[in-house]
Amino acid sequence: MVKTADGTVWIVETKGREERDLPQKMNRLRQWCEDATNASRAEGGPAYRFVYVDQQGYERNPPKTFASLAASFTEYQKE
């Protein structure tokens, strides 16, 4: 987990190899983040987001900052 300066809490999911049920897991994580954000914001809390980082993508283009990681690894963010 990473908390950024703007207060957003990020769940960083890393994988060495892609599993068959990965899309379902990422859909569930996205839904969890939406639910947690809605509940948290009602009480003035943080937003929750996630980023999926695959090993091959990371090795091809390793980010230098968390912001660039979140901007580069957008797979599964919107379906």
What string of H, E and C letters represents the secondary structure of the chain?
Answer: CEECCCCCEEEEEEECCCCCCHHHHHHHHHHHHHHHHHHHHCCCCCCEEEEEEEHHHHHHCCCCCHHHHHHHCCCCCCC
Supply the pTM of this predicted model. 0.86
Per the domain annotation, does 79 fall within a domain?
Answer: no
Tens of pLDDT, residues 47-70: 999 999 999 999 999 999 999 999
Per the domain annotation, does 10 fall within a domain?
Answer: yes
Q: Give the domain extent around 43.
A: 2-72
pLDDT confidence band for 15 (50 / 70 / 90): confident
Per the domain annotation, does 32 fall within a domain?
Answer: yes
Q: What does pLDDT average to over the chain? A: 92
- Structural domain count, the chain: 1
**Contact indicator for 55, 14 with CB cutoff of 8 Å:** yes
pLDDT at 2: 96
**Contact indicator for 12, 53 with CB cutoff of 8 Å:** yes
Does residue 8 or residue 21 have the better pLDDT? Answer: 8
Distance, CA of 23 to CA of 18 (rounded, Å): 9
